[in-house]
Amino acid sequence: MKNRVNPELLPGLEMFPELDLQPEFLQAIREGAAQMNQPAMVDESLSLNDEIIPGPDANPLRLRIYRPKSQNEALPALLWIHGGGYILGSVDDNDDLCMRFVQEANCVVVSVDYRLAPEHPYPAPIEDCYSALKWIADHAAELNIDPHSIGVAGASAGGGLTAALTLLARDRQYPSLCFQMPLYPMIDDRNNTPSTNEIKAGFVWNQQTNEAGWKMYLGELYGTDRIPAYAAPARAEDYSNLPYTYTCVGQLDPFRDETIAYVTKLAQAGVDVEFHLYPGAYHGFEGINPGAAISVRATNEYIQAVKNGFERVVKVKA
């Protein structure tokens, strides 16, 4: 299988450790990942600050807000949701990307530090994300954002939460979203597609780690037929009336086939959707090998997709 990997992406793959996602090892893995996060170099033209808001269970919910200092008009807003298999990651993971969204897509970005499983299984993470989204819409005037130009994005588990949150906002009829960008999303708990069976071990994320993540996220729901679409969006039966969607996945990602199925269902439901399949790319390739040409191209396409999502709103208004 490694002979199919883009040569530029091999160094990152060979350096990435095998993950043993037993609950007793999680804290050590989380601490190790946190130590690898270098403090972001904040551009002088931007402001970055953390805000604590009430979460859905009266829990303190941390949001990180990125915005241009010279903001003189209402800007679009993007809610960013970090990845980590529903069990890892934090708001500190994607500072550089969030700042690029602000600078190049001319928007305000809010990143949510949702609670993690297994300490906080479904529905805590998705409800935290909904609380963050609702807070953005409720405070549009205070934040100086356009309430008609709110999008949601995230990668991996953050992509799964993005897809779930978009369904939830549609069904709760608030707030209205103009686009979503679930990148290589973790959306199917059944873990039985051809691509998950291809990637049984290694490759950053695989069938084994995927099973561990879903078991911890779903808790007692795991393995039952009672799993709602807000937990695993691949189980949704109605994909209509969802906003413009951009998504992508690597050809050597276990999420390849669930993403392709998701794109197909969106298109069949009449949703405008753009999709990119990256050959020779495994899960999270662009974050592990940021300087590789394919990674630079993928990240630039994320930026462009956000710009496109907000520009579509401007064109509709015109």
The catalytic residue among 93, 95, 146, 253 is: 253
Backbone CA torsion sign across 316, 242, 244, 176: positive
Q: In sequence order, which ranges of 187-292 are alpha helices (DSSP H)?
A: 194-198, 207-218, 256-268, 285-288
Give the integer Cα–Cα distance in Å for 245 and 153.
Answer: 10
Give the integer Cα–Cα distance in Å for 245 and 30.
Answer: 31
Give the integer Cα–Cα distance in Å for 121 and 123.
Answer: 6
* 283 included as an active-site residue: yes
SS3 46: strand
Segment holding 27, helix H or strand E:
helix 23-36
Amino acid identity, residue 37?
A: N
Give the integer Cα–Cα distance in Å for 115 and 101.
Answer: 24
**Cβ neighbours, 10 Å, residue 269:** 14
Amino acid identity, residue 21?
A: L
* 171 included as an active-site residue: no
Backbone angles phi, psi at 126, to 5 degrees: -70, -35
Whole-angstrom distance between the N-terminal and C-terminal Cα of the chain? 50
The catalytic residue among 82, 195, 283, 295 is: 283
The catalytic residue among 90, 156, 195, 295 is: 156
Name the token pair of 107.
């928007």
* 148 included as an active-site residue: no
SS3 182: strand
Beta strands in the chain (DSSP E): 46-54, 60-68, 75-81, 108-113, 145-155, 179-183, 244-250, 273-278
Give the integer Cα–Cα distance in Å for 314 and 318.
Answer: 6
Enzyme catalytic residues: 156, 253, 283
